[in-house]
């Protein structure tokens, strides 16, 4: 019994304290670089989106498809980072706060649905350079995707990202 006390005490002394003041065993840790990185991803996605528009307007279907691949790569990386680092951190921080937990869960579910739609869109149009018939419906769908993503980015940056704070 006494040895268990010393063992536990020794373990507590060796626990590494993270930048948010929690210990390494408490789950996903806060990263002061995460939200700036996610915002930077948003800006880069918008730049790539505009490059896709430009290439398509010029009739460069091969260049359009190439930029769509760049968009896919960055979007998938962004979504993975958001899911693994951002949403899990917020979920653990607000586990006892039903209102914010529901807000976070709703944002996550909405983004999962948007992500699936965008990835299906990218799957469909990655063959556009070989199947020029796809170009007829591309612009309208691309505009719809852009409108949804722009609205979502604004919502995330104004409503959700401010919740990402160190735990004290």
Per-residue pLDDT at 13:
40
Per-residue pLDDT at 153:
97
What residues in the chain have per-residue pLDDT under 50? 1-3, 5-24
Per-residue pLDDT at 168:
56
pTM given for the model: 0.82
Per-residue pLDDT at 167:
76
Count the neighbouring beta carbons within 10 Å of the beta carbon of residue 81: 15
Per-residue pLDDT at 56:
97
Helices (H), 126-163: 135-155
């Amino acid at each position: 019994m006494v040895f268990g006390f010393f063992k536990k005490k020794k373990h507590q002394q060796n626990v590494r304290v993270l930048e948010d003041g929690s210990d390494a065993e408490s789950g996903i840790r806060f990263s002061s670089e995460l939200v700036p990185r996610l915002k930077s991803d948003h800006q880069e996605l918008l730049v790539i989106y505009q490059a896709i528009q430009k290439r398509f307007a010029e009739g460069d279907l091969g260049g359009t498809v190439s930029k769509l691949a760049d968009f896919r790569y960055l979007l998938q990386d962004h979504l993975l980072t958001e899911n693994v680092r951002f949403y899990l951190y917020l979920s653990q921080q607000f586990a006892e706060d039903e209102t914010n937990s529901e807000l976070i869960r709703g944002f996550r579910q909405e983004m999962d649905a948007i992500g699936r739609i965008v990835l299906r869109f990218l799957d469909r149009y990655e063959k556009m350079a070989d199947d020029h018939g796809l170009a007829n419906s591309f612009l309208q769908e691309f505009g719809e995707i852009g409108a949804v993503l722009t609205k979502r980015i604004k919502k995330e940056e104004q409503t959700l990202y401010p919740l990402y704070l160190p735990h004290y």
